[in-house]
Amino acid sequence: MKPKVIVAIVLGALFFIILLQNIQVASLKLLFWEISMSRIILFPLLMLAGFIIGFFVGRK
């Protein structure tokens, strides 16, 4: 297997373990809004937002 594949599998497994440990509800306060949702949903949403922002900022 290629090193990139091994790193991707390890990072994916670590991310999955972290998600399973964070099932409780978290409150997110943003300006005037307060959103309560499970951390297992919040973390992937924040990661997706980070990837999208990084993609657009990284483009030249």
Report how far apart, in Å, the C-alpha atoms of 52 and of each of 10, 44, 48, 49 are. Answer: 22, 12, 6, 5
pLDDT in tens, 20-52: 887 888 888 888 888 888 887 887 888 899 989
Provide the residue ranges of all domains of the chain, joining segments of one domain with +: 22-58
Give the pLDDT score at 25.
86
Alpha-carbon gap, residue 33 to 45, rounded angstroms: 17
Higher pLDDT residue, 26 or 14?
Answer: 14
DSSP H or E segment with residue 54? helix 39-58
Give the pLDDT score at 53.
92
Higher pLDDT residue, 40 or 17?
Answer: 17
What are the structure tokens assigned to 14, written together?
């670590």
What are the structure tokens assigned to 57, written together?
């900022």
Alpha-carbon gap, residue 11 to 25, rounded angstroms: 24
